[in-house]
């Protein structure tokens, strides 16, 4: 994801614990606690066309063409690509709001400062630079026999929250998210070097109980050394393999 989410290294992870973003929906704090900043999920401006009529422009990197996609189809496609349909409806809704917020912020930024490589688009379907997004056909291939039920569940979740954006000081936020943390989220300042008022470190203890939170894999010394040397060919190896991995400061 370029620009604001790209600084995370891509919007490719799937999840959605918006633990770093205190949010209000319909005036109720999602976390049950008073937010540290006045970040909120608010209905899009009345002057905007409906999400089904308004469109975003997406560059297809395979064809080089800029395609128009409705906001609704984009949000549904982004949720399909970013989160398994087996997740709870409330998680799918949170992902939908994050996806919509990301797209709207990116759209506004491109309107003000166009990126030449996008050829007039708001973003591309290159998931290494921008948020991932499936077309209906891609979702059909991904879910195969489970497509009908999965797609219907995601559509319902997206439709319920489509009017909402996450905003800070009346602007769409940097809707950063991750699949899980190590029990505490990082602040924007720690990750990017610059503080963002609403992206602060918060407790996320529930993540430590998530499936695949901790996994173990065993490899031979030879395979480990070969893998490291492929990335760092100049690595210096101690004669004692027990000293190959050390905790740095």
Q: What is the DSSP string of 127-193?
A: TTTS-----HHHHHHHHGGGHHHHHHHHHHHHHHHTTEEEEETTEE------S--SSBPPPHHHHHS
Between CA 2 and CA 15 the distance in angstroms is 19
What are 156-201's pLDDT values in tens digits?
999 999 999 999 999 999 998 888 888 899 999 999 999 999 999 9
Instruction: Check pLDDT > 60 for residue 22.
Output: no
pLDDT at position 248 is: 76
pLDDT at position 42 is: 53
191 vs 43, higher pLDDT: 191
Count Cα neighbours of 103 within 13 Å in the Cβ-side half-sphere: 32
What number of other Cβ atoms are within 10 A of residue 129's Cβ? Answer: 20
Between CA 207 and CA 177 the distance in angstroms is 13
pLDDT at position 179 is: 82
pLDDT at position 229 is: 93
Averaged pLDDT score across all residues of the chain:
81
Q: What pTM was computed for the model?
A: 0.69
Instruction: Check pLDDT > 80 for residue 17.
Output: no
Between CA 95 and CA 78 the distance in angstroms is 9
CA 152 remoteness from chain centre:
21
What are 75-134's pLDDT values in tens digits?
999 999 999 999 999 999 999 999 999 999 999 999 999 999 999 999 998 989 999 999
Between CA 163 and CA 148 the distance in angstroms is 24
What is the token pair recorded at 210? Answer: 């998530």
What is the token pair recorded at 89? Answer: 């409806």
What number of other Cβ atoms are within 10 A of residue 158's Cβ? Answer: 27
pLDDT at position 13 is: 35
Starting at the earlier edge strand, list the strands of the sheet with 66-70.
Answer: 66-70, 55-59, 123-124
Give percent above pLDDT 90 in the chain. Answer: 61
What is the token pair recorded at 241? Answer: 């393999």
Average pLDDT for 139-150 = 95
């Amino acid at each position: 994801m370029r620009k604001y989410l790209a600084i995370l290294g891509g919007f490719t992870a799937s999840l959605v614990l918006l633990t770093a973003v205190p949010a209000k929906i319909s005036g109720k704090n999602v976390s049950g606690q008073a937010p540290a900043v006045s970040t909120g999920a608010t209905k899009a401006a009345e002057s905007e066309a409906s999400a089904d009529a308004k469109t975003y422009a997406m560059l297809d990197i395979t064809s080089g063409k800029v395609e128009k996609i409705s906001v609704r189809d984009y949000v549904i496609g982004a949720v399909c690509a970013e989160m398994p349909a087996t997740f709870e409806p409330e998680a799918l809704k949170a992902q939908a709001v994050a996806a919509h917020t990301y797209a709207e912020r990116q759209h506004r930024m491109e309107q003000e400062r166009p990126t030449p490589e996008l050829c007039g688009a708001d973003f591309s379907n290159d998931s290494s630079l921008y948020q991932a997004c499936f077309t209906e056909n891609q979702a059909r291939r991904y879910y195969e026999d489970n497509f009908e039920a999965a797609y219907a569940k995601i559509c319902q979740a997206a439709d319920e929250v489509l009017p909402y954006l996450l905003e800070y000081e009346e602007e769409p936020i940097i809707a950063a998210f991750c699949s899980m943390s190590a029990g505490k989220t990082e602040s924007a300042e720690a990750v990017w070097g610059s503080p963002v008022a609403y992206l602060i470190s918060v407790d996320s203890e529930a993540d430590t109980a998530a499936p695949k939170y901790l996994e173990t894999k065993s490899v031979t010394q030879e395979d480990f050394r070969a893998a490291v040397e492929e990335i760092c060919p100049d690595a210096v190896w101690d004669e004692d393999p027990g000293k190959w991995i050390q905790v740095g400061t």
